[in-house]
Amino acid sequence: MHRFLFILFLVFSCTQPEKATDNNIINREQFTKLIVDIHLIEAKFETIKFKNELNAKAILQNDYDSIFSLNGITFENFENSLKYYSLKDDNLELIYTNALEEIKKKKSQLK
């Protein structure tokens, strides 16, 4: 009996699933906005990297830092949220679809 309890204890202590808490997961709407902002700064990076790649990388890092700071999140929050949404059915696909629609709206406003 003690052996069974010990094995049961080992199984549950070694296989606890990682649970997302509200503290480390960005809500879907804010995460979608972050994806939009990230795609825009990545596009900016791609356009300026040919002139001066080192300077472009510094600007990109600064832009990432600004996005995270303005939204009151850390890279870890972003990374945890990305993992969380990628494991939840089609959540990440839906987030990216919404982000692309938002980018299209912004693009049409520029014309």
pLDDT tens column, 4-59:
333 433 443 443 444 445 568 999 999 999 999 999 999 999 999 999 999 999 99
Cα atoms in the Cβ-side hemisphere of radius 13 Å centred on 79: 4
61, part of any domain = yes
Question: Over the stretch 73-97, which tens digit does the pLDDT of each residue have?
Answer: 999 999 999 999 999 888 899 999 9
> Number of structural domains, the chain?
1
Q: Which residue has the tokens 């939840």?
A: 88
- Domain extent at residue 34: 26-110
Q: 35 with 61: CB under 8 angstroms? A: no
User: At which residue do the structure tokens 């070694």 appear?
Assistant: 14
Q: Is residue 54 part of a domain?
A: yes
Say what the pLDDT of residue 110 is. 83
- For residues 102 and 111, give the distance between their C-alpha atoms in angstroms, rounded to a whole number: 15
Is pLDDT larger for residue 3 or for residue 34? 34
